[in-house]
Amino acid sequence: MTLSARAGSFVFVAAVFLSLLFFYTAYDKETKTLVPQKLLAVIFFSDAAKSWSELNKVAALAAIGLISCALVVGPLSKMFPKTFGKFLLYRKDAGIAGFLFAILHSAYSLFVIYGLDPNKMLFANPKWIGFVAAVLAFGIFFLMAITSTAEAVKKMGYIKWKLLQTTGYVALFFAIVHFLVLEIKPGKGLDVRPYGLVFLALAITALIVRLGFRALKTPPRTAFEEHIGQTPEKDS
Ligand code: HEM
């Protein structure tokens, strides 16, 4: 991967993260406006517990947003190669960055919110389906992340590897279920700030695009490099 592609990926990931701080963290639910003081309070840890809780939500949204982008760029680049083909170069970095945010969010949620207590997580948790969906999503994203190298493709064989990558959409479905189950509150409905809803919409759109894409008969990719916008090496 070239230095400029790496820099492009970095700028994209940073833009997603910063946009969440500006448009999600700074949003005031009561006045329905952006309040810079709210953002400053979070980044300067005026109330440490509140800041960690907010940053945990930002990490969760960055995870689902970046992973959705990494997944959807595949079918989009086949449907509209001229427009989206160039973004294939950034998909691996975006997916890995999304997974790193998912690790941070999952670790904070498991240790701090649930205190690793099986009752809080499952047995006495009215939202246990949301918890199970999160664990399944995380497990699949983990397998995808550790096999995102050319060496892994060689070891597994391309067909098996591609099948695993396709399960990314199943994991995205579980992540959406997790998001909805945890954020739908009795008497309030889906209690998410507008910019958070943009990320939910992005994930749902990625799934719809993938389902729509199945209906199109496009020639399948045949090598790992094609998935990340590079020319496959030919055996001599
Ligand atoms: C074992 C793994 C996971 C656990 C224990 C977990 C736990 C949680 C908890 C407790 C919340 C509610 C947070 C709060 O209201 O303060 C939450 C929200 C959320 N989680 Fe997870 N999660 C896990 C994995 C994931 C994964 C893999 C993704 C996506 C890639 C994800 C995406 C989200 C999103 C988008 C929200 C909503 C954030 C918001 O409030 O706007 N989670 N999760």
Give, using CA atoms, the residue closest to atom 38 of ligand 1: 57
215 confidence band (pLDDT: 50, 70, 90): confident
Lowest mean pLDDT among 32-41, 49-58, 123-132, 207-216: 207-216
DSSP reduced 3-state for 184: strand
How far does the centroid of ligand 1 lie from the alpha carbon of residue 72, in Å? 21
Q: What is the pLDDT of residue 141?
A: 98
Taking residues 95-118, report their average pLDDT.
98
Give the pocket of ligand 1 (CB within 6 Å).
Answer: 53, 56-57, 60-61, 63-64, 67, 102, 105-106, 109-110, 113, 134-135, 137-138, 141, 175, 178-179, 182-183, 192, 196
What is the DSSP secondary structure assignment for residue 225, as one 8-state letter? H
Query: What's the pTM value of the predicted model, to 2 decimals?
Result: 0.93
DSSP reduced 3-state for 220: coil
Mean pLDDT of the chain: 93
**Could you tell me the maximum CA-CA distance found in the chain, to the nearest angstrom?**
65
- pLDDT, tens only, 189-202: 999 999 999 999 99
Confidence check: pLDDT of 164 > 50:
yes
Q: Which long-range contacts (CB under 8 A, 24 or more apart) does 180-187 make?
A: 180/130, 181/127, 181/129, 181/130, 181/133, 182/127, 182/130
Atom from ligand 1 closest to the CA of residue 200: 35
Contact between 29 and 193 (Cβ < 8 Å): yes
CA angle 109, 57, 25 (to 5 degrees): 150
What is the domain partition of the chain in residue ranges? 3-227
- pLDDT, tens only, 24-34: 999 999 999 99
Confidence check: pLDDT of 15 > 80:
yes
